[in-house]
A and B are shown apart, each in its own frame.
Chain A
């Protein structure tokens, strides 16, 4: 706390540093958050010089409304289906006593390491018109429609199972936080297990469920990869299409894309405002002095017990089948994949490593050989290039977002409750209000010209687009990083800083030696989660749609398109499977590092170190004896 005596303004090193920091931040905030978005907004009204409302009129009279309605319909439906499945899987693994819950949980959590384009292509591999499951059904029922897995139903099905990761993270934590004594108290007062669930357990989950519902709604509204790959006319794929279209082909496509992004932004803002208003009403706080761990509830009725077990395992099969099939088929050669048959004889590593030539019969009845047409994930130039580019850009984007947020949090906590700190916090949360697609589209359209404050450069031109993508990555990850890292800052005991100061430590030293080690596990976790999400992101790079910004997800998406065309990319499906396995491994390692190794405190790390030392000593002794 400061008193009146400290209020004088003094120009010293600290003040200069603060002013310089503020100037840099303002430059980035105005130049890379506000200005491009304003440009998008104004482009709607300047597309036709004589008629500022031409684009709006076009929207109201044409079929553009259909895209908005479709996205809205998908979002609403997803709220119902995702919540239904999400609540089911959490209750089945955490609340009810279901046999094999640990295995079930692993199955339900696969979407955490396997999402986005990888997941959609995985589902397509199984259910599309030449998918394994479709083929199996067709073998039994030849009249079955092979194109059954497309359009709205396919998108809804895929996204329902893809979007339950948040339930497994947040709802699971919420249910685990319930004080079991409250359940016992209700049972003691005569409530049956179902009554306990609806009157005691469920109400405490409502705030979390509300947040999850909003998140699901926004995800549905902004859906990109599933509608695009499965053929559904939603807003985002249309924005990308329009952004890449020419005025020669259709009326003011860029302005229409801008209008659609702004509509998306308005929807998002309304939904988030509702969430924010709800959150301000406060949460349920446990008043337990000694919290008891939740015990799993046995379903005493044998019929319902059987039904719940069947339901749990059906869901498990839905979650696991694509994963298992993709892993297995990633080790099969291309004829086996094409025929969708699993055979040990066809076992190969070609989808991962190495290259092979491919001979095929042309229309002129002659065999033609394409050199290196069959290539593994780590031998295919395009795939490897995508991996490298995605790796570097996502690492940079995730790192920058963390750095900006750590510095900002340090400032916010030093000036807590002051207007400038509040303003800084809100400005960092600003991208949360805007759909990712609006930010990316705005970058694409605004920086596709010489802009004075970036040294009269066209940042969309050539390789410079990568700078834009990294900046976009950083900007969209700021709100999430802020929420998580700010929570970590709250755990720092204020007295630690005082203690360090008292022992002679300067501001920087205190931050580096005392505060940073405390928040580091959280910062690393945020970095890892950001990286994980960005490494396989598709929506943003697809919006930029630049050959210099062809990310890993775009390469995977392209594999669906180009398979075997003119003898090229013969094993694209196999490589796609291998890519998905690779993504699962990378994500799995990251999640292990974050939630396994990273969450250990000093005492656990010291214990592990001691264990290693003893093991080494034992080995040495054995070696000496020999």
Chain B
């Protein structure tokens, strides 16, 4: 559907993107994930045509669009701020692209009303100023405006980042549903790991202008290829050499010189050990109560570990309480300390 081949972007002497290779499939929800300044938005803007790469090609449906003008690329965009025209009504915002393309008035009207209905905007709302709509409704207008010209792909640049936590979760679900309904190839930019994991078919994790890993949410989370991805995608514990040695003594084959990590939910407190589990003695240092789950900070002597346990209302541990901590070496992710790649 859309392919980036060896893309390089320079801003003066600064190399913003280095050898970016991505192949987004038809109908896929593909996410660019990474911290601020990693190059994800630059990549998106290269696809949409706002930035011209100094090297590499952008291919859409087999057509090289690297030098094609922005408006001729057939790519819709939903901006971070939605970029709705404040001096136009909702109707005029959606109709803007069609008017530019000089569609007949009745065609514009039909297309606008059709798309509005599909994104759940009423006729009454079409007459309103965009400032009179809620955040969620504004997002729908932005999506309708991007889709009304029948683009091949839709690009979304952190469209949920300006919203409060509750609305973000609600709109995230709506967004996913809309994408499935329209079946349109979507490229989504975010720095929010949870958003990326819940929405995407595949994720590209960016770091310092390069892609560290491309994969499904499960591959990214459970089989992180690099130390950066492993650390960035979720909270994690770095195991001490002593803890690793203890695991090796119990039959594991881990390199103590590697950086060995275990995710918070893979360590457990005071449960029945399963085959291969290694048991450590620990003391609860503090607890964070989240309702659905509880996070414990436990002192294992050689290291402190964070553990997440489901809140069953029965097994709740207090500060200072002695506990048994269980970890299975098969859940440990090891990375070469210099290269940061999986050992």
- Chain A residues engaging chain B, CB cutoff 8 angstroms: 1, 3-6, 493, 495-496, 498-505, 509, 513-514, 517-518, 520, 601-603, 606
Residue of chain A at shortest CB distance from B157:
A495
10 tightest CB-CB pairs across the interface, nearest first?
A503-B97, A517-B87, A504-B71, A495-B83, A499-B83, A603-B129, A602-B129, A495-B79, A504-B100, A603-B132
Task: Jot down 11 A-B pairs with beta carbons below 8 A, ordered by A.
Answer: A3-B53, A3-B54, A6-B52, A498-B79, A499-B77, A499-B85, A501-B50, A502-B71, A503-B96, A601-B86, A606-B89
Given contacts A5-B54, A496-B85, contact A606 B10 (CB under 8 A): no
Q: How far is the CB of B37 from chain A (nearest CB, A)?
A: 13
Task: For the complex formed, measure the closest distance between the CB of B65 and the CB atoms of chain A, giving whole angstroms.
Answer: 13
> Is B81 a contact partner of A5 (Cβ separation < 8 A)?
no
A611 to chain B, nearest CB (A): 14
B residues touching A (Cβ–Cβ < 8 Å)? Answer: 9-12, 48, 50-54, 70-71, 75-77, 79-81, 83, 85-89, 96-97, 100-101, 127-132, 145, 149
Give, as a whole number of angstroms, the nearest-CB distance from B22 to chain A.
Answer: 19
Instruction: Give Cα A491–Cα B75 distance, bound, in whole angstroms.
Output: 27
Residue of A nearest to B54 (CB): A5
* A157 CB to nearest B CB, Å: 46
List chain A residues, Cβ under 8 A from B130: 602
Q: Would you call A500 and B96 a contact (CB within 8 A)?
A: yes
The residue that A4 contacts in the complex, of B10, B96, B149, with Cβ under 8 A, is B10
Q: How far is the CA of A601 from the CA of B131 in the complex (A)?
A: 9
Q: How many whole Å from A415's CB to the nearest CB in chain B?
A: 16
CB–CB B71/A498 < 8 A:
no
B11→A5 contact, CB < 8 A = no
| Residues on B with beta carbons closer than 8 Å to the beta carbon of A498 | 50, 77, 79, 83
Residues from chain A with Cβ under 8 Å of B12 in the complex: 3-4
Q: Which chain A residue shows the least CB distance to B148?
A: A503
A residues in contact with B79, CB < 8 Å: 495, 498-499
B77 contacts across to A, CB distance below 8 A: 498-499, 502
B83 to chain A, nearest CB (A): 4
Are B100 and A509 touching (Cβ within 8 A)?
A: yes
Given known A-B contacts A503-B149, A601-B129, A603-B131, A3 and B71 have beta carbons under 8 A apart? no
Complex Cα spacing A513 to B87, Å: 9
Kindly state the separation between the CA atoms of A501 and B97 in the bound complex, as whole angstroms: 9
- Contact present for A518 and B83 (CB under 8 Å): no
Distance between A497 CB and nearest chain B CB, rounded to angstroms: 8
Query: Given A496-B85, A606-B127, A606-B129, are A4 and B54 also a contact pair (CB < 8 Å)?
Result: yes
Q: Is the CB of A505 within 8 A of B86?
A: no
| Residues in B neighbouring A6, C-beta threshold 8 A | 52
Is B76 within 8 A of A3, CB to CB?
no
Complex contact B129–A505 (CB within 8 A)? no
Q: Chain A nearest CB: distance from B70 CB in Å?
A: 5
Shortest A569–chain B CB gap in Å is 50
| Contact of A602 (CB < 8 Å), options: B9, B96, B131 | B131
Q: Is the CB of B83 within 8 A of A501?
A: no
Are the C-beta atoms of B100 and A518 separated by less than 8 Å? no
In the complex, the answer to whether A1 meets B51 with C-beta atoms within 8 Å is: yes
Give A499's nearest chain B residue, CB to CB.
Answer: B83
- Provided the pairs A3-B54, A601-B131 are in contact, do residues A518 and B10 lie with their beta carbons within 8 angstroms? no
Other 13 A-B pairs with CB < 8 A, given A4-B10, A513-B96: A5-B10, A5-B52, A5-B54, A493-B83, A501-B71, A503-B96, A503-B149, A504-B71, A509-B100, A602-B88, A602-B89, A602-B130, A606-B127
- Would you call A503 and B132 a contact (CB within 8 A)? no
Contact (Cβ within 8 A) A504 B101: yes
CB distance from B7 to the nearest CB of A (A): 12
What's the least CB distance linking A614 to chain B, in Å?
A: 14
CB closest residue in chain A, given B142: A499
- Contact residues in A for B88 (Cβ distance below 8 Å): 517, 602
